[in-house]
Structure 1
Amino acid sequence: MNQVVGIVGVGNMGGGMAARLLASGWTVQACDLVEAKVQALVRDGARAAATPADAAQGAAALIVCVVDAQQSHEVLFGAHGAAASLRPGAAVLLCSTIAPHDVERLAADLDARSLAAIDAPMSGGPARARDGTMSLMVACADAAFDANRALLESLSAKVFRVGTRLGDGARTKLVNNLLAGINLAGAAEAMALAGRLGLDLGRTLDVIEQSSGQSWIASDRMRRAIAGDYAPRAHVTLLQKDTRLALEAARAAGFEGALGPVAHEAFNRAVEAGDAELDDAALFRLFSPQ
């Protein structure tokens, strides 16, 4: 590949995606508020971009991988926004976990500038972003999908085309992340119980991983919790936000579940306990105080 791709937001997931594209032969223009993250990619061959507009200059597509809708809007349409630098027909991949109505609003603003929005949230963690095994939930027009198929398939071997209605990628991601939050809260509670019962936590998790209680997020996060490793790969605040957005989407659809609110409250409690900037494996600490 010799096409240029801009990416704004090269933290844990965005950095993994950028590294994946570089390894696959794409030219990557990377932008982030944290200069050290950009420079780490420059050492791997990326071009440093001082602003989102710089990241978009000459790019066939721009990947937006920031925290929320407000940041996404600023990246695209702010003082140094990328939208004005993109050529007509270029694609914008909206990879952040945001509300469906925010995807629709951003897509409408992009369409007004003759830019193609691709609703493409991702899931799987930094390591899977880097090796191309994360899942990518894609909703966009057929023409945009076809034109950017090579980019999407370079990013992930697990591209799920969930439809053509913009916002359905976001809806799918919120359903997934609500379940992830429920599973993580349940795993943290169960492992805390194992400790209280005097069980060896590592051996108990070995059993769970081969039994009916297994879930990917439980294995991934509880292995770290057992080791006392709370270095952030996904901050507690991310699933706090995502479960909130999922509950808001549920209410808008007239749906009231029982477990989602309980899981969301667990993330709220973790934030109140001072664990906001830790990895979300820190949920274990709520149920197993040190």
Structure 2
Amino acid sequence: MLRAGVIGLGDMGSGLAKNLIKNGFETSGFDLSEERLAAFTALGGRAARSVADVAANADVVYVMVMNGNQAKAVILGDDGLAANMTDGGTIILTATIKPSEARQIGEELNGGLINLIDCPVSGGFPGAQGGTLTMMAAGTPDVLEKARPVMEAVSQTIHVVGERPGEGQTVKSCLQSLIGSIFSATFEAAALAAKAGVAGEVIYNVFSTSGAGCGVSRTALENIIDRKFEGTGSHIATMHKDLTIALDLAQGLEVPMQTASTAMQIFHAGKSRYPNGDNWVCTRVIEEIVGAELHR
């Protein structure tokens, strides 16, 4: 059986590790947080001393860090994965970064003996912890086939969206522009309902059973009406970053993105006012403007 590794054991990475272990994979993990490493060890994982330590003890390694600079350091650094994995090893880049950054990583690895699957994911904290993520995988058929057991252990759906680095991140950027827009529209609708005096339960039930009902709006509304604005596993900094990436891609391609741009401003306001909050905290900013709150 393939040996697995996970770099980054936060909300998402801990879910990857949990499901790899659950499915019988010997799993090494590394994180800068001692608390996260301890939690990983309690799950049955092997806590590594460094990225290089993970690389030396894994055939397939997930990289679930926050941004492109971190991904480059973890993969391409002197003590990184590429320099320390056994020939034929595979890196699965599940972090969401700019397509151009994924392409750069791929170019640095080109001609090397380490494989790269550009594979951002969707499903958030519940999907990571439950092993039901949706994967947008770009890699060559042979590499994807070899890594498939490790990928199936953490996901419900694997979409093969291309073969080249950057193609997975491009699809994720398009997806996040939509998700961010749905979120922001839900926040505004929630504030409108609050100001109009409509109960949150009514709005939730109607929206959930209408044509607008979807997992994105339902999750947002449920957290809003229960006033859960922190600790839900969907930190606002992540969506803020993802919308920045989507708009950067759109600017480079000269594609107008009016709705996503508005969503970006709503998330920017939320992140500025409540930097430790989750996505739904944006609603509080709008509620403060209109002087009303939506409760269940």
TM-score, normalising length: structure 1: 0.95
- Structure 1 segments (4+ residues) deviating >2 Å: 77-80, 110-113
CA contact (8 A) 1:5 1:56 kept: no
Deviations 1:173-193 (A, max 9, x none): 111111111000000000111
- How big is the shift at 1:112? 4.1
CA contact (8 A) 1:222 1:284 kept: no
Matched, 1:196 2:203: no
Between the aligned partners of 1:230 and 1:34, the Cα distance in structure 2 is 24
Matched, 1:184 2:186: no
- How big is the shift at 1:79? 4.9
* Aligned amino acid, residue 255 of structure 2: F
- How big is the shift at 1:132? 1.8
Show the counterpart of 1:245.
245
SS at match of 1:148: helix
Between the aligned partners of 1:147 and 1:12, the Cα distance in structure 2 is 26
Between the aligned partners of 2:222 and 2:27, the Cα distance in structure 1 is 33
Between the aligned partners of 2:82 and 2:162, the Cα distance in structure 1 is 24
Matched, 1:267 2:267: yes
Show the counterpart of 2:15.
16
Between the aligned partners of 1:50 and 1:283, the Cα distance in structure 2 is 38
- How big is the shift at 1:213? 2.0
Show the counterpart of 2:220.
221
- How big is the shift at 1:219? 1.1
Deviating more after overlay: 181-190 vs 214-223: 214-223
Deviations 1:178-230 (A, max 9, x none): 11110000000001111111111122111100002223112112211221212
CA RMSD of aligned residues (A): 1.3
Deviating more after overlay: 175-184 vs 127-136: 127-136
* Aligned amino acid, residue 230 of structure 2: A
Between the aligned partners of 1:228 and 1:50, the Cα distance in structure 2 is 39
SS at match of 1:288: helix
Between the aligned partners of 2:61 and 2:111, the Cα distance in structure 1 is 17
Between the aligned partners of 2:241 and 2:124, the Cα distance in structure 1 is 16
CA contact (8 A) 1:121 1:170 kept: yes
* Aligned amino acid, residue 156 of structure 1: S
Between the aligned partners of 1:4 and 1:241, the Cα distance in structure 2 is 31
Structure 1 segment 57-206 matched on structure 2, within 5 A: 57-206=56-205
Between the aligned partners of 2:107 and 2:38, the Cα distance in structure 1 is 33
Between the aligned partners of 1:105 and 1:192, the Cα distance in structure 2 is 42
| Count of paired positions | 288
SS at match of 1:29: strand
CA contact (8 A) 2:135 2:157 kept: yes
TM-score, normalising length: structure 2: 0.94
CA contact (8 A) 2:77 2:83 kept: no
Between the aligned partners of 2:186 and 2:214, the Cα distance in structure 1 is 9
Deviations 1:27-73 (A, max 9, x none): 11011111111211211110001211111112111110000000111
CA contact (8 A) 1:183 1:215 kept: no
Give the unaligned 5+ runs of structure 2: none
* Aligned amino acid, residue 183 of structure 1: I
Between the aligned partners of 2:52 and 2:111, the Cα distance in structure 1 is 18
CA contact (8 A) 1:247 1:261 kept: yes
Between the aligned partners of 1:64 and 1:32, the Cα distance in structure 2 is 11
Between the aligned partners of 2:78 and 2:201, the Cα distance in structure 1 is 50
Deviations 1:219-242 (A, max 9, x none): 112211221212241211111111
Give the unaligned 5+ runs of structure 1: none
Between the aligned partners of 2:28 and 2:220, the Cα distance in structure 1 is 32
